[in-house]
């Protein structure tokens, strides 16, 4: 269920190559959200968050295809607003967080689109299984933080995945297989 992630995460951008012009950034946890939604018995979609995740970004503004992102999500930070459900999701029937405490996304390719759109291809490791996942992201803004003038980047985006691809099959089809991920992340440039 919560098995999307990541990422995530978030998060975010990536490619296997790097560029001299790329600059290093880290996600600002106070301005980063990683959400998911999944169908519940055909009636509605249940929404939740991963509250604890870290993202690093190498971003080349002149050649975004030379950018790279990495996101690590702490499974035990899952939050659906109902502690009993969160405990169930952390258990062996779903994430099995005791055995697999993290989700991890690493980009392999960034494909610039029109305007500030980016298609970010990468590998997501979840529940001990690694599969390709694609993020559709948009660079919202690049500029100085209005408070401390630190260079910042802001991204929003979406992704989707089938949780069954990662071996998480409990309660399908009552609880959906397709997980939709939404992220909004601000990155601060590292000194």
CATH code for the domain in which residue 73 is found? 2.40.128.110
Per-residue pLDDT at 14: 40
Dihedral sign for Cα atoms in the order 23, 24, 28, 32: positive
Range of the domain at 153: 7-189
* Residue 91 domain-assigned (yes or no): yes
Q: For the whole model, what pTM was predicted?
A: 0.87
Across the strands, what pairs with 112? 118
* Residue 137 domain-assigned (yes or no): yes
**Number of domains into which the chain is organized:** 1
* Residue 26 domain-assigned (yes or no): yes
* Residue 150 domain-assigned (yes or no): yes
The tens digit of pLDDT for each residue in 47-60 reads 999 999 999 999 99
The tens digit of pLDDT for each residue in 68-114 reads 999 999 999 999 999 999 999 999 999 999 999 999 999 999 999 99
* Non-local CB neighbours of 33 within 8 Å, separated by 6+ positions: 49, 182, 183, 184, 185
* Residue 2 domain-assigned (yes or no): no
Q: Which helix (H) or strand (E) holds 16?
A: none
């Amino acid at each position: 269920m919560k098995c999307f992630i990541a990422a995530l995460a978030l998060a975010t951008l990536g490619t296997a190559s790097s560029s001299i012009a790329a600059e290093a950034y880290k996600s600002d946890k106070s301005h980063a959200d990683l959400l998911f939604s999944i169908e519940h018995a055909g009636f509605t979609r249940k929404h939740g968050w991963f509250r604890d995740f870290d993202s690093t970004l190498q971003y080349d503004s002149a050649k975004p295809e030379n950018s790279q992102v990495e996101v690590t999500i702490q499974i035990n930070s899952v939050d659906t607003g109902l502690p009993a459900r969160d405990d169930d999701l952390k258990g062996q029937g779903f994430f099995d967080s005791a055995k697999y405490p993290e989700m991890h996304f690493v980009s392999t390719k960034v494909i610039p689109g029109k305007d500030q759109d980016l298609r970010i291809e990468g590998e997501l490791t979840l529940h001990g299984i690694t599969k390709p996942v694609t993020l559709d992201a948009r660079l919202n803004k690049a500029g100085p933080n209005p408070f401390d003038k630190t260079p910042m980047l802001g991204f929003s985006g979406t992704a989707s995945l089938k949780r069954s691809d990662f071996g998480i099959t409990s309660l399908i089809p009552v609880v959906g297989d397709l997980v939709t991920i939404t992220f909004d992340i601000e990155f601060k440039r590292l000194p």
